[in-house]
């Protein structure tokens, strides 16, 4: 038998074996489902329905287990090893996650920069793409002659955008010297004075923002600026609350913002505790506090099954953890983890001793509060002692918190160590907003007064930290220049903002780190036709009677858009935002084609870093860790978006 005939015979045997495997597997899945239905007490008719339903769904279930679930579990295991293709595999625990999340080593720093790049694509690219899609949809929603041709033209970039030829054409068009885009912009700037001013302002703004962001992504110190963001968030939210009357809607808004900030803080603290070496016992206390709070809420709502889950599962996990520590851990591990596990499980265990519902709630509430208090006390040493608490009062009185403005080492390292982390200010914002959300209708004046006081405090902190940040920036730059130790972050920012761009200044789109990410976002905006179709379909569904009624009431075009169009198309807006965020975090193909040796690190997203570590450098273990980190981030962001979609209007 020749080689080709033998190969065909082997393929035939594999096909027959696969078909037999699917048939036998489907029968086993069907019988297993029928057995479960019988165990649950279903009738004979229902058992037959379950059997046939799972029998026909079994090929997909088997395929999912073999080709999705199995590789996912294998990837999870690999992420805890140092597996490299062609070499042995050793268990390393959380070392891969620790290196990546803490930015340790060269690869940790590259991963941190890749995550900053992905966040840039999400925070800047997604809103611009949404605005572009909505604008095109509004244009194409008009009934004019040849509208179908315009719709085809607007959607055509979606078909061409992913192709290498189109992306390479963009590279030539965005060339810094003689590229079509720059030549066109310079001609327009030379013809119109106003456009020339806007063009130079655009160059100045983009280079200033991106040079500052490049420094943050590179880990350069930002000094007092770290307090400006949480203070501004608190001030802006409170400003929206104090305007007008104190309504239930404002209390709900305050609670949602407080809940969102609190959830982000919990995730960040949990990630830090998880990658600590050894594992931070505070993580166990936090899980216990979360379980106690969840059981308390479930009991308050009368959800018996959820209450049992919140109590039983954490107790079982605590018991397993204690047994594992006793079996595997040394003396140090026992002293660290066993008391933490016992303290975390204590409120849940005491629930079974309490008899009255009020006693159960009291035990859970007090237990959760005590665990949170222990966590805060553990965090305080090294954070709020040693005079660190003086920073916020100084900002409230518009003073500077920079103790040694002429010491480069202090500005570079000691300022961050000698001042409390910005997470504390985020926590204060969450507590203030959470407290205001609990304000009762009987005391609206007290709630409004408290909101005004908090608004004034956060505004003062925001202004002071911004002014102090500029002072810090100038002092750092002067000392670094005098000492000949220029920081790359500040040197690049100063070069970008030293002078107003002259007429010969052009964007260096694909050859400079300040313009590489805006170039990628520009190409993404060009291919916004998919979102445009979703918006266009939503616009077609808005009843014309709403606009006619608004015109009768004297509404102008902007009022109709803000009060009618946006609420009615909010489900489409929500869909495009969710899909856009996921796509931004998974950006890969455009980077792979457009990157150059000079801009690869500045363009690299988390997905591109994953590709490099896994398929180029064959570091399967660390690549698997990157994939799970990215998956968890995407899931958390998606859950948060669905949790806080109160602005979406769904018709009854």
CA–CA separation, 531 vs 616, rounded Å?
Answer: 33
Residue 116's contacts (CB-CB under 8 Å, 6 or more residues apart) are 213, 216, 217
Query: CB of 386 within 8 A of CB of 403?
Result: no
CA–CA separation, 214 vs 30, rounded Å?
Answer: 56
CA–CA separation, 124 vs 522, rounded Å?
Answer: 11
Q: Which one, of 9, 12, 52, lies nearest residue 34 by Cα? A: 52
| Sign of the torsion angle spanned by Cα atoms 10, 14, 20, 21 | positive
Interior angle at CA 94, CA 591 and CA 423, nearest 5: 75
**Structure token pair of residue 325:** 């520590």
Q: Give the pLDDT confidence of 626-643 residue by residue, as tens digits.
A: 999 999 999 988 888 888
Q: What is the pLDDT of residue 441?
A: 62
CA–CA separation, 460 vs 395, rounded Å?
Answer: 7
Q: What is the pTM of this model?
A: 0.85
Domain ranges in the chain are 3-78, 95-176+508-643
Q: What is the pLDDT of residue 652?
A: 47
Interior angle at CA 607, CA 604 and CA 611, nearest 5: 90
CA–CA separation, 54 vs 32, rounded Å?
Answer: 9
CA–CA separation, 158 vs 153, rounded Å?
Answer: 10
Q: Give the pLDDT confidence of 588-616 residue by residue, as tens digits.
A: 888 888 888 778 888 899 999 999 999 88
Q: Give the pLDDT confidence of 317-363 residue by residue, as tens digits.
A: 888 888 877 776 555 555 678 888 888 888 888 887 776 777 788 88
Q: Give the pLDDT confidence of 51-64 residue by residue, as tens digits.
A: 899 889 989 998 89
CA–CA separation, 78 vs 91, rounded Å?
Answer: 9
CA–CA separation, 254 vs 451, rounded Å?
Answer: 11
Q: Give the pLDDT confidence of 518-564 residue by residue, as tens digits.
A: 999 988 888 888 888 899 989 988 888 888 888 888 888 888 888 88
Query: CB of 33 within 8 A of CB of 57?
Result: no
CATH architecture of 95-176+508-643: Orthogonal Bundle (1.10)
């Amino acid at each position: 038998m020749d080689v080709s005939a033998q190969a065909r015979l082997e393929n035939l045997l594999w096909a027959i074996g696969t078909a037999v495997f699917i048939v036998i597997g489907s029968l086993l899945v069907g019988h297993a489902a029928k057995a479960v239905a019988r165990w649950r007490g279903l009738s004979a008719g229902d058992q037959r329905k379950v059997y046939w339903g799972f029998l026909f769904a079994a090929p997909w279930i088997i395929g999912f287990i073999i080709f999705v679930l199995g590789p996912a579990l294998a990837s999870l295991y690999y992420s805890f090893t140092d597996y490299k293709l062609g070499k042995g595999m050793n268990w390393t625990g959380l070392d891969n996650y620790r290196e990546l999340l803490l930015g340790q080593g060269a690869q940790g720093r590259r991963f941190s920069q890749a995550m900053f790049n992905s966040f840039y694509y999400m925070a800047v690219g997604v809103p611009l793409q949404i605005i572009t899609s909505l604008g095109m949809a509004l244009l194409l929603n008009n009934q004019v002659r040849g509208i179908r041709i315009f719709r085809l033209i607007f959607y055509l970039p979606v078909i061409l955008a992913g192709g290498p030829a189109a992306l390479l054409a963009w590279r030539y068009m965005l060339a810094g010297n003689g590229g079509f885009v720059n030549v066109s912009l310079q001609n327009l700037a030379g013809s119109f004075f106003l456009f020339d001013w806007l063009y130079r302002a655009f160059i100045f703004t983009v280079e200033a923002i991106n040079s500052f962001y490049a420094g943050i992504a590179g880990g350069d110190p930002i000094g007092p600026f770290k307090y400006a963001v949480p203070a501004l968030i608190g001030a802006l939210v409170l400003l929206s609350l104090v305007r007008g009357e104190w309504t239930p809607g404002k209390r709900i808004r305050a609670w949602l913002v407080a809940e969102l900030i609190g959830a982000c803080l919990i995730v960040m603290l949990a990630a830090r505790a998880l990658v600590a070496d050894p594992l931070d016992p505070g993580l166990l206390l936090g899980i216990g506090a979360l379980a106690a709070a969840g059981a308390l809420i479930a009991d308050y709502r009368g959800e018996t099954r959820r209450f049992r889950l919140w109590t039983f599962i954490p107790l079982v996990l605590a018991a397993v953890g204690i047994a594992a520590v006793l079996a595997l851990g040394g003396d140090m591990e026992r002293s660290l983890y066993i008391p933490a596990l016992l303290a975390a499980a204590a409120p849940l265990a005491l629930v079974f001793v309490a008899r009255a519902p009020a006693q159960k709630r009291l035990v859970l509430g007090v237990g959760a509060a005590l665990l949170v208090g222990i966590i805060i006390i553990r965090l305080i040493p090294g954070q709020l002692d040693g005079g660190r608490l003086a920073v916020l009062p100084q900002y409230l009185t518009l003073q500077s918190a920079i103790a040694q403005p002429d010491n480069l080492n202090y500005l570079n390292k000691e300022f961050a160590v000698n001042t409390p982390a910005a997470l504390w200010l985020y926590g204060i914002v969450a507590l203030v907003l959470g407290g205001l959300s609990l304000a009762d209708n009987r005391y609206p004046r007290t709630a409004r007064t408290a909101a005004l006081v908090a608004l004034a405090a956060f505004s003062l902190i925001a202004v002071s930290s911004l002014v102090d940040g500029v002072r810090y920036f100038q002092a750092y730059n002067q000392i670094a220049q005098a000492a000949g130790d220029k920081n790359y972050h500040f040197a690049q920012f100063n070069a970008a903002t030293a002078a107003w761009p002259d007429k010969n200044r052009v964007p260096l789109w694909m050859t400079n780190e300040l313009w590489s990410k805006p170039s990628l976002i520009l190409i993404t905006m060009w291919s916004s036709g998919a979102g445009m179709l979703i918006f266009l379909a939503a616009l077609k569904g808005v009843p014309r009677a709403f606009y006619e009624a608004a015109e009768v009431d004297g509404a102008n075009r902007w009022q109709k858009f803000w009060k009618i169009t946006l609420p009615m198309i909010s489900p489409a807006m929500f869909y495009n935002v969710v899909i856009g965020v996921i796509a931004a975090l998974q950006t890969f193909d455009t980077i792979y084609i457009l990157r150059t040796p000079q801009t690869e690190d500045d363009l690299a997203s988390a997905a591109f870093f994953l590709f490099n570590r896994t398929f180029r450098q064959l570091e399967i273990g660390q690549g698997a860790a990157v994939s799970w980190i990215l998956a968890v981030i995407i899931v958390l962001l998606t859950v948060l978006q669905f949790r806080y979609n109160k602005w979406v209007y769904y018709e009854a």
